[in-house]
Amino acid sequence: EVFHNMRGDGLMNSAVKMFDGLSKDGLTHEALELFSQIKDKGQMPDVVAHTAVIEAYVNAGQAKEALKVYMRMLASGVLPNAYTYNVLIKGLVASGDAKLVKEAKTYVEEMVEKRGIKPSAAVCVGVYEGLMKVGLEEEGKEVLEMLKSKGLVPEEEKVRDALKNKRGPAFRTVMNVLYGK
């Protein structure tokens, strides 16, 4: 079903979504590099194809399958970009499964430590909230503190937007840890 939905220009739509996602997250250089690869080679980079499949599984609520595709992607030598991480992490958090939510924390750390990629505000907030919901609030704080210590905190305005309509402990903790407010 996943592959059936990707027929036609579905892969190009995924490339456009990835381009937009990278641009919105302030990763203009990566977005332009993606665009030039498509233009110069006349073919889709492998990261786009893999991420499209990961995103299809995430959208279908199948986070475990999305994680399997991610692992196969790495095994085949294809490196994730910021959009790949954002899609995977959001999917793991949305699963509500404590083990998968904890995995999301691992991938935030990987994207920062191994790849030097700054997570989006939505990912920062989502991972914290996801960990909090499964009773791992301290681990959520650790993620936020790690991002702050590395200088990879998203702009306050974007974090406030990601926290829109959310008050209470999640809002206060995220704002306090990241910005001292």
pLDDT digit string (tens) for 113-144? 988 888 888 899 999 999 999 999 999 999 99
Q: Which of 10, 73, 72, 75 is nearest to 44 (CA)?
A: 10
Asked whether the predicted pLDDT for residue 1 surpasses 50, the reply is no
pTM: 0.75
Asked whether the predicted pLDDT for residue 64 surpasses 50, the reply is yes
Question: Are 35 and 85 in contact, with CB atoms under 8 Å apart?
Answer: no
For residue 103, CA distances in Å to 41, 145, 170 come to: 35, 18, 20
Crossing angle of helices 121-133 and 98-113, rounded to 10°: 150
Tell me what pLDDT residue 142 has: 94
Tell me what pLDDT residue 134 has: 93
Tell me what pLDDT residue 55 has: 83
Question: Are 148 and 113 in contact, with CB atoms under 8 Å apart?
Answer: no
Tell me what pLDDT residue 152 has: 87
